């Protein structure tokens, strides 16, 4: 049995806790939430102990802490976990490069292992991996990312990360055709540009999170498409990371590295 504490009892935390409850090899021993004042949280009909104090980690003695909370909390959680030999699996967004480097230093320095991944969706990570294979071989590409209309930022972080990693996989910018004339004054509907890749953002009710990457070649195109239907898509790889963490000897950064798609 792998003993697990969930850090963050929000939307993701509750879904992850429900999944842990039905996994025969995982035991949910408690939940941390820095903003909560409740003593327990009901998960799958059971009252799970809930605390807003990092001291509870020592009391509950988990093997692994899974964190889907807030970057401010995560940078406090990691040293507290490492201090009591608990291995972190971190999914919280918005950690700075410095915070990630510090997490790596702390976890590795303590001789522990863990996983930190900005995206736990298997299909999204594979989409980027496949795009990086095609990137050096096609000279033109456009990304169309589509999200629900509640999303506040554009383009999506995934679209930016895709464009950056495709550019890094080749020795020059993609070729891009600029429009010679704009038919709506002041608007360039060719989209944003990063490394020669055009990025188009669609925001509509009814959508969840989708991305299409279209490569253009000589009388052919190649399309790679990923659709995320709900937050449930993250769960299997989060549980994979929690199961892997006890045997890791360093902080693995990125689901692609955990899956062996990337070896650097």
Measured distance CA(225)–CA(221) in Å, rounded = 13
Q: Which of 39, 47, 53, 93 binds ligand NAD (CB under 6 A)?
A: 93
Contact 11, 235 (CB under 8 A): no
Which residue, 12 or 28, is less far from ligand NAD as judged by CB? 12
How would DSSP label each residue in 12-41? HHHHHHHHHHT-TTEEEEEEE-TT---SEE
Neighbours of 62 (CB within 10 A): 24
Taking the complex as a whole, the smallest distance from the CB of residue 70 to ligand NAD amounts, in Å, to 3
| Total chain residues near ligand NAD (CB under 6 A) | 24
- Residue 92 interacting with ligand NAD (CB under 6 A): yes
Active site residue 59: no
- In the DSSP assignment, the letter for residue 54 is T
Tell me the C-alpha to C-alpha distance, in Å, between residue 112 and each of 6, 167, 183, 252.
18, 33, 58, 11
Which residue, 37 or 218, is less far from ligand NAD as judged by CB? 37
Q: Which entry of 147, 187, 210, 226 is annotated as an active-site residue?
A: 147
Taking the complex as a whole, the smallest distance from the CB of residue 154 to ligand NAD amounts, in Å, to 16
How would DSSP label each residue in 65-80? EEE-S-HHHHHHHHHH
Contact 207, 228 (CB under 8 A): no
- Residue 120 interacting with ligand NAD (CB under 6 A): yes
* Among 95, 51, 47, CA closest to 74: 95
Taking the complex as a whole, the smallest distance from the CB of residue 52 to ligand NAD amounts, in Å, to 8
Specify burial of residue 18 (Cβ count, 10 A radius: 0-12, 13-18, 19+).
middle
- Residue 30 interacting with ligand NAD (CB under 6 A): no
Restricted to residues 66-85, the positions that interact with ligand NAD (CB under 6 A) are 68-70, 72-73
Which residue, 30 or 34, is less far from ligand NAD as judged by CB? 34
Q: Which of 12, 197, 242, 244 binds ligand NAD (CB under 6 A)?
A: 12
Restricted to residues 225-264, the positions that interact with ligand NAD (CB under 6 A) are 234
| R_g over Cα of the chain | 21
Taking the complex as a whole, the smallest distance from the CB of residue 158 to ligand NAD amounts, in Å, to 10
Active site residue 147: yes
- Residue 95 interacting with ligand NAD (CB under 6 A): no
Taking the complex as a whole, the smallest distance from the CB of residue 20 to ligand NAD amounts, in Å, to 15
Q: Which of 6, 28, 34, 107 binds ligand NAD (CB under 6 A)?
A: 34
Task: List, in sequence order, every residue forming a beta bridge with 49; answer none if it has no partner.
Answer: 40
Contact 8, 35 (CB under 8 A): no
Q: Which of 1, 10, 47, 221 binds ligand NAD (CB under 6 A)?
A: 10
Residue 93 dihedral angles phi and psi, to the nearest 5°: -85, 165
The site for ligand NAD (CB under 6 A) is made up of: 8-13, 33-36, 68-70, 72-73, 91-94, 117-120, 234
The catalytic residue positions are 147, 151
């Amino acid at each position: 049995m792998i003993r697990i504490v969930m850090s963050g009892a929000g939307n993701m935390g509750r879904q992850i806790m429900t999944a842990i409850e039905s996994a025969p090899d995982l035991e949910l021993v408690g939940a941390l939430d820095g903003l909560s004042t409740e003593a327990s949280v009901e998960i799958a009909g059971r009252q799970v102990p809930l605390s807003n104090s990092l001291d509870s980690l020592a009391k509950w003695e988990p093997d692994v802490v899974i964190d889907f909370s807030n970057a401010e909390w995560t940078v406090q959680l990691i040293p507290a976990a490492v201090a009591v030999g608990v291995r972190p699996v971190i999914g919280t967004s918005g950690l700075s490069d410095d915070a990630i480097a510090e997490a790596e230093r702390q976890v590795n320095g303590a001789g522990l292992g863990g996983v930190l991944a900005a995206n736990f969706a298997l299909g999204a990570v594979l989409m980027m991996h496949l795009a990086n294979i095609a990137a050096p071989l096609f000279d033109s590409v456009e990304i169309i990312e589509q999200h629900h209309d509640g999303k506040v930022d554009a383009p999506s972080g995934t679209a930016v990360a895709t464009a950056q990693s495709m550019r890094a996989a080749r020795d020059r910018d993609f070729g891009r055709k600029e429009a010679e004339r704009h038919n709506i004054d002041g608007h360039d509907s060719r989209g944003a540009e990063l490394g020669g890749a055009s990025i188009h953002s669609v925001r509509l009710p009814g959508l969840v999170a989708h991305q299409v990457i279209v490569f253009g070649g000589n009388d052919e195109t190649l399309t790679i498409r990923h659709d995320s239907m709900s937050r449930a898509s993250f769960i299997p790889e989060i549980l994979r990371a929690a199961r892997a963490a006890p045997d890791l000897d360093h902080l693995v950064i990125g689901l692609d590295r955990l899956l062996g798609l990337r070896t650097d």
